[in-house]
Structure 1
Amino acid sequence: TAAEQFLSMDRQQIMHVAHETLAGHLRAILGTMTVEDIYKDRDAFAQQVNEHSAVDLAKMGMNVVSFTIKDIHDEEGYLDALGQERIAQVKRDATIGQAEAARDATIRSAKARQEGETAKLKAETRIAEADKDYKVQKAAYDAETNRRQAEAELAYTLQQNITNQQVRAEEIQIEVIAKQKQIQVQEQEALRKEKELEATIRKPAEAERHRIQTLAEAKRFQTQTEAEGQAVALRQVGQGEADATRATGLAEAEVTKAKGFAEAEAMPCKRKPKPGKTITRPPFYWNSSEGCQMWQRQWPNRWPRQSAS
């Protein structure tokens, strides 16, 4: 492991091992590339060294953070000559590049000016079109605004009229309610006066009329009762007189009958009436001791059967 390898080494020794590892990979990669490739493409060369050495360094517990080739030279001056040529080429290319750049700049400038003018004209055209569109749209907007404003004013006027009508309708309704209230008050006042009139005039008059009617009824009933009583009394008196007359007659008859009985007993029996003969005098008894039979009269005027002696 890395700890076992570097356990007995100090810092300098560890750095030397890492340096040698990188140098070995560097020499191996140099053997596969041409001098021109190495000189011209240092970044690719450094990238290959970094990639090939990273595996071995990782086994040692290390990793390459950055690997850069500062300079490449040799003892024969070959690389310097390549550098001069390269410098001349670079200068030439730079001059050509500057000329081409100036040309391109001029062309691009002219083109840019042309394009600028074109763009300006197009922009002005677009501005004009935009201004025209703006004016058209503004005119349409103004017309629409005016139309809506007119509609709004008309709607406001209509709404105001409707509101006024509603307010007037409410006022009329309030007036109607007030009139109804006034009528109710007048009706209540009339009812109150009617009740007052009823209490002060009609009821006393009605009470007086009722009193007079009651007195008249009582007087009539009294008169009728007295008349009926007098009639009953008269009937009773008449009945009594009749009863008295009848009683008197009966009494007189009884007296006469008694007298007849007495006379019959006192009178000797001369003859016996024939059966069935009507007589006007009272009946008589047949005195058995004198050889007469006693007869008992049966009313009216029938001779009774002869009783056994």
Structure 2
Amino acid sequence: MTGELPHHSQENNEVSTRNIKSEIKDAASVEKNLYQYVDKELDTVASGKFLKVQIKVIPESQFPMWATTFASMLCANPELANLTNKELAALIENESGETGFNYTIISKKLSEGQRHHAGEILRKHGYATDTLVKGTDIKRIVKDDVRTEALKDDGVVFHADGVSMGRKRYAYRQRAVTPSGKPWHDFCIRLAGDDTSLQAFLAARTIGINDFVSRDEAARATASPEEAARRHKLERQATESRRLTKIMSADGANRNGAGAIADFKAMHTPDRCLQWTSDGLMACAQ
């Protein structure tokens, strides 16, 4: 259900300043009347039915696409990011063919739709948009040439020999498993009296394997001699599972015995592999 608010008069090609507070008051009044009408209509609904109505009335924007225009303009000419918000507002008006754009809107929080469309434009030009919240962030991202996402502060700090959360530090321990040479599989930490695999811990904290690998490498690069020594003691060479070897070596009607191991190892390695990324499981060329 929509309605039009009264237009302001236009004389001598000059648009009078919009009284936003008055328009918001009018919108609230319209919304109240609509709810009263809807409540009366709902009273006529047969019993046993459950209905919910949500109404939102807001003043219509003269510049519904300003964020998209703003992002396109700055991506096309990054030097414009050095201008003030007031100067940029004049350029947005010029691009839109309208007047009356309030430059203070640029510093306000973007709507979900504005973030999506403006973000798409920024990403197409190679910019990172994880910090895009307000209109001024569009200017900051272009001005500072932000091309990589900021590190997320998830409250977890990785060390060469363990992990810490808050003031509590948990040392890595060897798991009672056949070592694979991968720390997230081979290590565990002691939580609430139980050994919890590092991989399960990462999943619980929504930390991807690639993210862990990067942070683990950084931790090892800056480790103290003591931390490095403890990590070295924990690491074991990857070995083949004896259980898998036993299963594959067993002769049977549907098995080739010990020859299956050689056949398995001689299998053609696919040209593509799978790896975890920040976007999920992705195929990659070997």
Tell me the TM-score normalised to structure 2 length. Answer: 0.22
> Looking at CA atoms only, which structure, 1 or 2, has the larger radius of gyration?
1
**Higher normalized contact order (CA 8 Å, seq sep 6+, divided by chain length):** 2
Tell me the TM-score normalised to structure 1 length. Answer: 0.21
Larger strand proportion of the pair: 2
